[in-house]
Chain A
Amino acid sequence: MSFSTTKTTRDTRRHIHTMNRRWNIIATVALVIVAAVACAKAPQEDVDGAKAEMEKARQAQAETFAANEYQAADQAMSAADAEIQAQNAKWIKNYDKAKELLAKAKEEAAKAATTAVANKEQAKKDAEAAIAAADTALQTAEGNLKVAPMTKDSRADLALFKSDLETYKGTLEQARQAFASEDYKKALESANSVKEKATSIADQLEEAKKKRSGARPRA
């Protein structure tokens, strides 16, 4: 009996010892995890990478030439900033979501930069073609004016057309200046407007000529 009691006590002590050791290990591991999470640092490398891509997009004038893509990148960047701030305020920090948002911002910014380059090139070509077409339309209208039938009735109209064409020449010059300063949108709009109006004058003069040719003489 005495032997049996001693054995039981020894087993109980061993068991308690084993249990304590397990708890110690668990506590240590938990402490390490908590310490690791609580001391997690903001993903600065990811932030820098995303910011660099955003800067590249800005350099490529993405705000103008790839507005939707740039807005998506900007929104992702703002969301990532907000998430980082939120995590910074917590005792236990987790930046996984912030990293995801930063990756998205980086990707969208890269897309915005690429799209902006392509769109800018397209806008440049469009503006260039519009200016050339406007110039030809203006010269054609001027030519029509120089050989327009001159009558008592038409004289005032022709003087007005002449004055209008002078104004359009000025507008076309402004379009050229806008093109030179890479404001392709303004250049395109001005050139298209000049082309449309000059063509309208050329058509009116041509129409007047046809009408005159078809008119029967007055008695």
Chain B
Amino acid sequence: MAEGVARAPNQCAAAQSILVRAEAETRVQSRRSALRRDYDQAARLALEARLAAETCAFQAGAARARTRERARKALADLSTALPRAASLSRHVGDSDVAEDLVQAEIALGEGKVAFERSQFERAEDAAERGRARLAQAVSDINRLFDTYATSPRRADWRRWVKDTLRDSARTGEPVILVDKLRRELLLYRGRDELAAYPVDLGIGGLNSKIRAGDDATPEGRYRITEVRGPTQTHYYRALMLDYPNADDVARFRRLKRSGRVARGDDVGSLIEIHGHGGRKRDWTKGCVALDNDDMDSLVPRVRVGTRVTIVGTIPEEVLP
């Protein structure tokens, strides 16, 4: 009855009320003399109470079945939506987004456990909690993507990519473009895309490198200064870049003068494109990491002096 009261309150309240009346009528009759005693009305009320209680039980059962179905569907929806959002979150590497997704995952787990224990209201609540965190994460991901579309650095990215491709078209040499947002390294010759490889970036994710130790991948126009084989690097193969270039040094000095970086800080060095990647997360100290097979594929196609342009994202209008 207690469970029914929660699920079908109106029907159960009616049953309760009739039962109270039946009990009151029984007491009234029991106080009368044996000759005047008549339990007909009490019996009628008791029957009504029983019927109402049966309705309450039926409604409660139906309500429980509905809650069960809602919880099942909500958990299934969350289960399928979470991996999609997690895959997307890979492109932003934002801690708030990551936290939301972790909380959504936890809520999904709680919901599944509650469902297995037939605690359907709890399961539904957990699924709703997870859905809300997931929605927040996806909304934040889109917001961060949109900041890239309207970034003040976008003009620089457009110009750098345009210049790089024009140079490749003129010399016939391949060039490397790294799109940090898409986590992609593209090999171009002139207007032709020769290859595309997924990459892992610095732990700093989409931030642009400012100083040593910020674990961010720099944005700028670089060249390969050295090609290292398996015995010359800890990261399978490596293409050393000329970071910091003149622009990086000038910007660093500007920031130092304005007090935005500490006096003891250094601009950093040893930025490379190397192997041991393919982890589908950002883990380097600012380098661009590729899967070893992809390094095997890339290295023979480039040489010392090959241009490497790293941008936040490649504006779509620039690509051929």
Chain B binds chain A? yes
Q: List residues of A whose CB falls within 8 A of some B CB.
A: 114, 118, 122, 125-126, 129, 132-133, 135-137, 139-140, 142-144, 146-147, 149-152, 155, 199, 202-203, 206, 212-213, 215-218
Instruction: Indicate if the CB atoms of B84 and A218 lie closer than 8 Å.
Output: no
Known: A126-B70, A146-B145, A217-B301. A202 touches B84 (CB 8 A): yes
Q: Can you list, as one digit per residue, whether each of B41-84 has a CB less than 8 Å from chain A (1) or not (0)?
A: 00000000000000000010011001000100110010011001
Instruction: Indicate if the CB atoms of A133 and B77 lie closer than 8 Å.
Output: yes
Instruction: Indicate if the CB atoms of A143 and B297 lie closer than 8 Å.
Output: no
Q: Is B195 an interface residue (CB 8 A)?
A: yes
Q: Can you list, as one digit per residue, whether each of B77-105 has a CB less than 8 Å from chain A (1) or not (0)?
A: 10011001101100100000000000000
Instruction: Indicate if the CB atoms of B88 and A135 lie closer than 8 Å.
Output: no
Instruction: Indicate if the CB atoms of A147 and B81 lie closer than 8 Å.
Output: no
Known: A147-B181, A152-B320. A216 touches B297 (CB 8 A): yes
Instruction: Indicate if the CB atoms of B59 and A118 lie closer than 8 Å.
Output: yes
Known: A144-B88, A146-B145. A136 touches B63 (CB 8 A): no
Which one of A125, A142, A203, A206 contacts B142 once the chains associate, using CB atoms below 8 Å?
Answer: A142
Q: Is B270 an interface residue (CB 8 A)?
A: no
Instruction: Indicate if the CB atoms of B198 and A213 lie closer than 8 Å.
Output: yes
Q: Which residues of A contact B59 (CB under 8 A)?
A: 114, 118
Within the complex, the shortest CB–CB distance from A156 to chain B, in Å, comes to: 13
What CA separation (Å) do A150 and B193 show in the bound complex? 10
Known: A129-B74, A132-B131, A151-B193. A146 touches B87 (CB 8 A): no
Q: Give A111's nearest chain B residue, CB to CB.
A: B55
Instruction: Indicate if the CB atoms of A150 and B134 lie closer than 8 Å.
Output: no
Q: List residues of B whose CB falls within 8 A of some A CB.
A: 10-11, 59, 62-63, 66, 70, 73-74, 77, 80-81, 84-85, 87-88, 91, 131, 134-135, 138-139, 141-142, 145-146, 149, 181-182, 184, 187, 192-198, 297-298, 301, 314, 316, 319-320
Q: Which residues of A contact B11 (CB under 8 A)?
A: 114
Q: Which residues of A contact B182 (CB under 8 A)?
A: 147, 149
Q: Which residues of A contact B63 (CB under 8 A)?
A: 118
What CA separation (Å) do A146 and B187 show in the bound complex? 21
Instruction: Indicate if the CB atoms of A150 and B319 lie closer than 8 Å.
Output: yes
Within the complex, the shortest CB–CB distance from B98 to chain A, in Å, comes to: 15
Within the complex, the shortest CB–CB distance from B141 to chain A, in Å, comes to: 5
Q: Which residues of B contact A122 (CB under 8 A)?
A: 66, 70
Q: Give B182's nearest chain A residue, CB to CB.
A: A147
What CA separation (Å) do A155 and B297 show in the bound complex? 26
Instruction: Indicate if the CB atoms of B131 and A140 lie closer than 8 Å.
Output: no
Known: A137-B81, A143-B145, A212-B196. A114 touches B314 (CB 8 A): no
A-B residue pairs in contact (CB < 8 Å), sample of 30: A114-B11, A114-B59, A118-B59, A118-B63, A126-B70, A129-B77, A132-B135, A135-B135, A136-B131, A136-B138, A139-B139, A139-B141, A139-B142, A140-B81, A143-B91, A143-B138, A143-B145, A144-B88, A147-B91, A147-B145, A147-B181, A149-B182, A149-B196, A151-B193, A202-B84, A212-B196, A213-B197, A215-B195, A215-B196, A217-B301
Within the complex, the shortest CB–CB distance from B97 to chain A, in Å, comes to: 11
Which one of B134, B145, B198 contacts A136 once the chains associate, using CB atoms below 8 Å?
Answer: B134
Q: Which residues of A contact B301 (CB under 8 A)?
A: 217
Given contacts A114-B10, A135-B135, A217-B297, 13 further A-B contacts (CB under 8 A): A118-B59, A118-B63, A132-B135, A139-B135, A140-B81, A140-B88, A143-B145, A149-B196, A199-B80, A202-B84, A213-B197, A215-B196, A218-B194
Q: Which residues of B contact A199 (CB under 8 A)?
A: 80, 84
Q: Which residues of A contact B62 (CB under 8 A)?
A: 118
What CA separation (Å) do A187 and B80 show in the bound complex? 22
Q: Give A136's nearest chain B residue, CB to CB.
A: B135
Instruction: Indicate if the CB atoms of B297 and A206 lie closer than 8 Å.
Output: no
Within the complex, the shortest CB–CB distance from B206 to chain A, in Å, comes to: 11
Within the complex, the shortest CB–CB distance from A211 to chain B, in Å, comes to: 10
Q: Which residues of A contact B198 (CB under 8 A)?
A: 213
Q: Which residues of B contact A216 (CB under 8 A)?
A: 195, 297
What CA separation (Å) do A115 and B77 show in the bound complex? 27
Within the complex, the shortest CB–CB distance from A165 to chain B, in Å, comes to: 12
Known: A114-B11, A114-B59, A118-B59. A146 touches B70 (CB 8 A): no
Instruction: Indicate if the CB atoms of B84 and A206 lie closer than 8 Å.
Output: yes
Within the complex, the shortest CB–CB distance from B76 to chain A, in Å, comes to: 10
